[in-house]
Amino acid sequence: MEENFLKDQAALVTGGSRGIGRAIVLMLVQAGCRVAFSYQKSQQAARSLEEEINNKGGRCQASAVDVKNFEEVKSWVDRSRDHFGRLDILVNNAGIILDKTLMMMTPPNWHEVLETNLTGVFNATRASIVTFLKQKKGNIINISSVSGLMGLSGQSNYSASKGGINAFTKALAKEVANWGIRVNAVAPGFIETDMLSGFPDEQKEQIIKNIPLGRMGSSGDVANCVKFLLSEHAGYITGAVVCVDGGLTMR
């Protein structure tokens, strides 16, 4: 695909300051896209990324947004669209993990994960979809997880939220296909990010033993999959959940 295949397009990325989100933001900018990304707590990382991109001639805006709050998300979407003069891409990446066995899980543990990971996807997509429908064009990528496909012990809240994203992706893809809008999900496996930094080495070694490719993934691996799904090479793909997991969920 061409180096600047997204030239002059505008994208929104939720949760773009660190890890997978950061890699996606950088990929989009390198592809010629103007990007607005949200963050919630990582202000220093967000401002650093924003400054890095803008100093190199890219166009990037970072905003503190609570994806659980629809009005706050809608305001951010509207401001970003008006600033760039258009909206072409939405990447729903924001997410959290609060792992506990169900016996130890509190209602706040459940609601915080579901509202951030799943309701956050609804909020950003609902706030963007009217623009996409009016222009009969748009590309939506939802960052899911293999946890939503195979289930992982201690992640009933997280697995439920990501399984919901997969179903949401398929339902919306059918709903908007006639308007030229594609909707896909990317389901990463174990990726070397801050979420895995607290895992002891022995646990990481055990995880790697279950991955056919024999290694953890990188944020770049996920960003490259998003890049493909945004390209014309994926023009006939919608409603898909693409695993980037080194074969972990292989059947």
Token representation of residue 76: 């951010």
Q: How far apart are CA 39 and CA 34, in angstroms?
A: 17
How far, in Å, are 127, 207, 223, 246, 249 from residue 213 at the CA level? 39, 11, 18, 5, 12
Pick the catalytic residue from 37, 158, 168, 190: 158
Rounded Cα–Cα distance for residues 78 and 57 (Å): 24
Tell me which residue has tokens 């890890």. Answer: 19
- CA torsion 76→78→79→82, rounded to 10°? 150
Q: What is the DSSP string of 2-39?
A: -TTTTTT-EEEEES-SSHHHHHHHHHHHHTT-EEEEEE
236 is catalytic: no
d(CA 38, CA 216): 26
Which residues are known catalytic residues?
158
